[in-house]
Structure 1
Amino acid sequence: MAETGRTAPPAGFVPRSGLRHAEHVMGTVFSFDIRDPPTPALAGALRTAVSRLHRIDALFSTYRPESAISRLARDATTLEREPEEVAVVLRLCEEAQRRTRGCFTACPGGRLDPSGLVKGWAVEGAARVLCEAGARNVYVNGGGDIQLTGEAAPGRPWRVGIADPCRPGRLLTTVEGRDLAVATSGTAERGHHIIDPRTGAPATGLLSATVTGPRLIWADVYATAAVVLGTEAAEWIAGLDGYGLLAVPADGIGLVRRG
């Protein structure tokens, strides 16, 4: 996993070897590892990416009563009065619901909560900010949702460890690649917290589902949907071009791989 620092680089800061940073935001830690020659432009882009994460948190946190999403949920505002990002995310949630045949929703239990899509969208957007500033080899990890571009080193792909939900502190396996997204959903940290929108009950078919593919926003959505689908997830993922699945069944015995 990437090495991280503790504070944002100050204005004008250019380290000697790459850029690394960790930011506490959105209730988790976002880690950045940029393996390109450092420049003032990349340092500035890193600050921009971090600022954007805090803006997203302020808009979409369901724990902040004055966030846009909380005010929308209690009918204290309208979509037209809020920043465009809110409408963008809600449209993506509608698309996610269509793509997953209703296994993903922004209204679990009838409550407006797009959190299942926002974090992956935020990580992907942070990586995009860095790449638009000239970065070519980037690792961004937001609480286990990871977007990778380029390589860890010349000729060496990025490698990501996947936690074993049955043995805390141990790795189930590793995945590697270039220009790759990796997202995991499951019970390892929060128990059976994913609700099946079709039944309103917790999804219990899989202990964990890791989805890999080109875009994190969809890998994240598909991982959540895979947990909901349970034993049907492998066949469903097999029909999604460019995405693969590594799943641990509810009994913890064996692995399911597709793609």
Structure 2
Amino acid sequence: MRRVEHVMGFPVSLRVDDEHVPGAAVDAVFAWLRAVDERFSPFRPDSEVSRLDRGEIGLDEVSADLAGVLDLCEQYRAATGGAFDVRLPGRGLDPCAVVKGWSVQRAAELLKAAGVERFCLNAGGDVVAAGGPWRVGVRHPEQADKLCMVLEITDGAVATSALYERGAHILDGRTGRPATGLLSITIVADSLTEADSTATAAFAMGAEGIAWASSRPGCEVFAVDAGRRVVRTRGLPVAVAVTA
């Protein structure tokens, strides 16, 4: 079974290789992601995030889900010395960097709870998979038609932060300016919550983010810095090293 929808501003594709696919579980995945977009998008004036940012509700009034997301955001802000920050001066509250991985991981957990054993859920290039092996390509940071690595994932997640899709969109919270020092960084972790948030936070830190991400428990790293130096951790589950 394969299904693709445009949700939260990017394509989300789901492939399930089980012999019997519970359609209700698949429907629940996309319904959940649509609901997350409605509740947490800073681009929707009626979302919970926008209402909090305008002061219409207080922190003691937000949902348990948003409280949990904001707690994760604070954990990454503290761990990066402020490089990762969802409350930048002059900008509205924007927790999207955590919401994406968190919500897609929750979607994967809905599938598992429904008994789905072998699936690959790809949200705008970030992947959570189960029942592998699954092969996940890592795009070359400067050549759109090439891969620089193919990873093999059995049960886990892969996320990449880079310049190639949206340009210099990740800001260093310590300076308020676009992050420099990295062309791309890919994180492999047990959950997409960890992989996606760590990739964004490390990119915001710049070159020092490579060592920081590598030190996080359960995270494997593949990075290309601004000088085109390639760094990868020993435990990275490499299937094919396409381009150095």
TM-score, normalised with respect to structure 2? 0.90
Q: Is the 8 A contact 2:76 2:201 kept in 1?
A: no
Residue 54, structure 1, aligned to residue 8, structure 2: no
**Partners of 2:57 and 2:141 in 1: CA distance:** 40
Q: For CA contacts below 8 A with separation 6 or more, give which structure has more relative contact order.
A: 2
CA distance in 2, matches of 1:191, 1:143: 15
Q: Could you tell me how far 1:149 is from its partner in structure 2?
A: 1.2
* 1:140 matched to 2:121: yes
Structure 2 counterparts to residues 164-203 of structure 1, below 5 A: 164-203=140-179
What are structure 2's unaligned runs of at least 5 residues?
236-244
> Post-superposition shift, 1:184?
0.5
Matched, 1:84 2:64: yes
CA distance, structure 2, for counterparts of residue 136 and residue 99 of structure 1: 34
Distance in 1, matches of 2:167 and 2:100, equals 19
Does residue 20 of structure 2 align to residue 38 of structure 1? yes
Aligned residue number for residue 224 of structure 1: 200
Amino acid of the structure 1 residue aligned with 2:73: C
Over the residues paired in the alignment, what is the CA RMSD in angstroms? 1.6
Q: Does 1:211 align with 2:187?
A: yes
CA distance in 1 between counterparts of 2:201 and 2:66 reads 22
CA contact (8 A) 1:123 1:145 kept: no
Aligned to 1:72: 52
CA distance in 2, matches of 1:140, 1:100: 28
Q: Distance in 2 between matches of 1:118 and 1:82?
A: 15
Matched, 1:104 2:104: no
The range that moved more, 190-199 or 109-118, is 109-118
Q: In 2, distance between residues paired with 1:206 and 1:178?
A: 28
Question: Residues of 2 paired with 1:211 and 1:102: CA distance?
Answer: 20
Partner amino acid for 2:86? A
Contact 1:79 1:86 in 2 (8 A): no
CA distance in 1, matches of 2:119, 2:83: 31
1:148 is displaced (CA, Å) by 1.0
Aligned equivalents of 2:73, 2:209: Cα separation in 1: 20
- Using the size of structure 1 for normalisation, the TM-score is 0.85
Q: What is the alpha-carbon distance in structure 1 between the residues aligned to residue 60 and residue 204 of structure 2?
A: 32
Distance in 2 (CA, whole Å) between partners of 1:142 and 1:50 is: 11
How far apart, CA to CA, are the structure 2 residues paired with 1:29 and 1:121?
16
Is the 8 Å Cα contact of residues 49 and 130 (structure 1) preserved in structure 2? yes
- Unpaired runs of 5+ in structure 1? 1-18, 152-156
| Residue 256 (1) aligns with residue 221 (2) | no
Number of residue pairs aligned between Structure 1 and Structure 2: 233
